[in-house]
Amino acid sequence: MAQTYGQQGQQTQSQEYTLPGVLHFLQSEWRRYERDRNEWEIERAEMKARIALLEGERRGIENMKTDLMRRVKMLEYASKYVAEKSHSNNTVSPPGIATTEVTSSTNVNGIPITGLKQTSRPVSAQYTNIQLTRDQKTRAKSQQLLKNCLQEIEYLTNVATTGISPIPNRSDTVNLNDSAQAFSQQANRSSTIYLGPDPHGTLSHNRNDSREQIRPSRPAPSAPSTIVPPKSSSPPLEQVSTSRKHVNEYEDNWFNATEDRKGKNKAETAKSNDEDEDDYNEEQSTPISSSPFSPSIDETSDTVSTIRGNKDGSNRVGKKEGGYLERGADNEEIVTMYAQKSFNRWREAFGNKISATKKPSRKSAEEEKMEEEQLKKDVQAKFNLSNEKLDKVIRTTRRMNSHDFIEQTSDPQLGELSNAWQDVDDEQGNQAETDQEHVNGVDNKLWKTRATLRSHLDSVRSLSWHRYEPLFVSGSDDGTVKLWDLNETLSPKQYDIKPILTYRGHTLPVTSVVLSTEQSTCYSASMDATIRVWKIPATRELYAPVDPSLNLTAYIGHTDVIWDLRLFPIHDQNSQLLASAAADGTVKIWDTEEVGSPLKSTWNYYGIGHADGLNGGGRPPVPTSIDFVHTDLKKIAVSFQNSIIKIFDIETGQPVVTFKSDKTYDGTASTQINRIICHPTMPQVFSAHEDKYIRGFDINSGDTIFSMSAHLDSVTSLDIDPSGMILISGGHDASIRLWDILSGQTCVQEFMSHRRKSDEGVLCLQYHPTLPWLASGGADSVVKIYN
């Protein structure tokens, strides 16, 4: 019964269908499917891109893993060996012999003998003194060194008899292969480790005893060579000759570098380098002086010396030394990693100088410590070793030593030398960076300045990308909003990039801009307390007739400077929320699709419905930044001048969670939060503080995830890479730093970007949501594009 009834119902229904109606229905269905299909396609493409990214990342991590394994093996062997050696060796050799050995070895190493003897004499005298005051253990070690030295001499004399002249000979370089090049890079770099105290010459012997314990052997193969197994297959002649080649190349490098320095002209070096170096030169045309670098150098060498000095845990010493050995190993990547680090360190030192702060580069020290710790851990975790690897290590170490030695004796003007090396080091650091790029593929790519856009007349405070197109708007202290179209892809002629449109309407500086892709509009907030809405024209040509219709409307409601604007992440047909935070103490939510009265709600620090000063007396704290919580779209995060972050419910306007983000708040604006950003996929919010901190909070629990002093000056801007892996920050120290979110506080890259004006540096940063681009705006009125 029920069935027939249903059938009847169907029949009557179907009778009501008309042909056009059905057609219409089918058409609309078809259209819907098509649209869905398109969306799926897009999604698929996105996923593919994501997969590629992750794959690349995996590869990178695997590479790193194998490196670490290798490192572990080498360290393990090295530490064992050192332990054995230190126990087995008891005899003491007279220091006189040592010195003669030293001189002879230098001779074979291809250095003019006359000069050498002179320099080695004072060293030997001191050496005896120190030797006398040393305990048994040290003697044993020195003994070991001397033995190795003798071995080395034997090899070298062998080589000499086979007809290779002791004078550096260019023809030797004919056989140069990749590994040799890699090595020479490495050697240059290793020089920085030891360079620090050199300017003090032999004085350092008295000054730094812990160094002394191993250092006296510096003219000969030094500390790391204790690991040379006495019965290991004697190094083939070829190896020794390569080491000499390196010497030559090294010296050549050095000469180049000094020449360049003298001429204050890096043209030559730049030629041999990639464009990165060019950029770099462009940015910092100031000639490199020795002063900014010396602090960080000293620091490095200090760590070296303490490591060396610590004899009690011989195991540990072995490990550490292994660490340096490892750097000497063939592995390009590690080398590059290190190069990058020293490069960064240098930059940091430079930055220090600029900002005239006298703090040592703390960051680099931290990095170093971190790496060491990791190293230790790894060593403890894993053991196994192949002899080939070890051989390699030993070889490279020996090469390293010979370089070390030359560095010590060959040139009297060590101060200048260190500079020259620094140049070489930088240079190769750059090269290494690109190498790394090639090796590691997509995930570890480094951002490089692609274009510098000049058109604003004052500090650029804000910028916002179009979601799909290479199009963005920028707002500046000059009161204008400019629309930039980079579609004509960035040509080498960077000068020609002009904004396609300048929106004029604000009567005071513009503080914040957002671009709504779906609405084809852009919103700008200004110190004049208004939000203006601009249309993005469909046709874009330079010097088009002025079109007043582009100026859509203005939202008036705030009574003081509006400092931040954010757009609701999702746009639907009927509503597009816009949030604003202003110095009048309020946060306002606007619905931009509402034509008549866009203002939806207003609340202050205490939530909706609390009049000023009700709760605490006096004006409530001023909001500084806002962001919609991407993982819970009913909520919005607001940071205040008192360094507190609160999560508000958008509908009710009441605070839901309050974070303990004010740990360093001291009651003044110099510790306030400048900007917050919510993670696109995880329930996390990150805050940039005026007192250099970046903090991360879990939105659900309210816990602090991390808190780090991230810049040399206030942190002003934050953004998160669309994949959610990288947090990028910009600060008044004019640098931009990239942080790995997963590992928390690892700095992936750092570069100086803008020049300072009015004690301000970088003011805004944003990743392109879909293209591999990054833009930053600074107090120097310039917008820079990176990719």
Partner 1 sequence: MSEDPVTATESSHVTTNELSSAANPAENSKILQKPLRRTRVGTKLEDIYPHIPISLDDIDSAFALQEYLQYLIRTDKENLDLLVQVPEGQDADAWQYEHLRQLCLELGYLVVQLMSECTRETCREMKTTEFQYLCATHPKSSCSAMDYIVHTLDQSISSLNDPRLFPSRMSIPATSLKNYQEISRRLYRIFAHAYFHHREIFEAFEIETFLYARFLKLSTQYKLVSKDLIIIAQP
Instruction: Quote the DSSP letter at residue 199.
Output: G
Structure tokens at 779: 């107090």
Q: Can residue 690 be called a binding residue for partner 1 (CB under 8 A)?
A: yes
To the nearest whole angstrom, how small is the minimum distance from the Cβ of residue 583 to partner 1? Answer: 4
Q: Can residue 454 be called a binding residue for partner 1 (CB under 8 A)?
A: yes
Q: Can residue 47 be called a binding residue for partner 1 (CB under 8 A)?
A: no
CA distance 56 to 441: 6
CA distance 237 to 235: 6
CA distance 110 to 165: 8
Site string for partner 1, 712-751 (x = CB under 8 A): --x-x---------------x-------------------
To the nearest whole angstrom, how small is the minimum distance from the Cβ of residue 302 to partner 1? Answer: 29
CA distance 669 to 15: 74
The one among 117, 540, 610, 755 contacting partner 1 by CB under 8 A: 755
Site residues for partner 1, 225-284, by CB under 8 A, read none
Q: Can residue 674 be called a binding residue for partner 1 (CB under 8 A)?
A: yes
Pairing state between β 449-454 and 577-582: unpaired
To the nearest whole angstrom, how small is the minimum distance from the Cβ of residue 84 to partner 1? Answer: 57
CA distance 483 to 478: 14
Please identify, using beta-carbon distances, which residue of 5 and 543 lies nearer to partner 1.
543
The one among 42, 125, 614, 669 contacting partner 1 by CB under 8 A: 669
Q: Please, which residues have CB within 8 angstroms of residue 762's CB and are 6 or more apart in sequence?
A: 716, 717, 730, 731, 732, 734, 735, 736, 753, 754, 776, 777, 778, 779
Site string for partner 1, 70-109 (x = CB under 8 A): ----------------------------------------
Instruction: Quote the DSSP letter at residue 494.
Output: G
Site string for partner 1, 464-483 (x = CB under 8 A): --------------xxx---
Please identify, using beta-carbon distances, which residue of 442 and 561 lies nearer to partner 1.
561
Q: Can residue 292 be called a binding residue for partner 1 (CB under 8 A)?
A: no
| Edge-to-edge strands, sheet with 460-465 | 460-465, 471-476, 480-485, 501-504
Please identify, using beta-carbon distances, which residue of 381 and 556 lies nearer to partner 1.
556
325, 431, 441, 333: which is closest to 77 by C-alpha? Answer: 325
Q: For residues 244, 246, 249 and 253, what is the CA-based torsion angle, rounded to 10 degrees?
A: -130
To the nearest whole angstrom, how small is the minimum distance from the Cβ of residue 547 to partner 1? Answer: 10
624, 642, 646, 606: which is closest to 566 by C-alpha? Answer: 624
CA distance 586 to 676: 17
To the nearest whole angstrom, how small is the minimum distance from the Cβ of residue 605 to partner 1? Answer: 12
Please identify, using beta-carbon distances, which residue of 198 and 760 lies nearer to partner 1.
760
Site string for partner 1, 490-529 (x = CB under 8 A): -----x--x---x-xxxxx------------------x-x
To the nearest whole angstrom, how small is the minimum distance from the Cβ of residue 80 to partner 1? Answer: 55
Site residues for partner 1, 541-570, by CB under 8 A, read 542-543, 545-546, 548, 551, 560-561, 563-564
The one among 396, 455, 580, 602 contacting partner 1 by CB under 8 A: 455
Site residues for partner 1, 619-638, by CB under 8 A, read 622-625
Q: Which residues pair with 780 in a beta bridge?
A: none
Per-residue burial over 504-539, b if 16 or more Cβ lie within 10 Å, else e, is: ebbeebbbbbbbbbebebbbbbbbbbbbbbbebeee
CA distance 153 to 156: 5
Q: Please give the single-letter amino acid code of residue 62.
A: E
The one among 152, 260, 662, 760 contacting partner 1 by CB under 8 A: 760
To the nearest whole angstrom, how small is the minimum distance from the Cβ of residue 350 to partner 1? Answer: 15
Please identify, using beta-carbon distances, which residue of 345 and 456 lies nearer to partner 1.
456
Interaction site with partner 1 (CB under 8 A): 356, 454-455, 457-458, 478-480, 495, 498, 502, 504-508, 527, 529, 542-543, 545-546, 548, 551, 560-561, 563-564, 583, 622-625, 640-641, 669, 672, 674-675, 690, 714, 716, 732, 755-760, 779-780
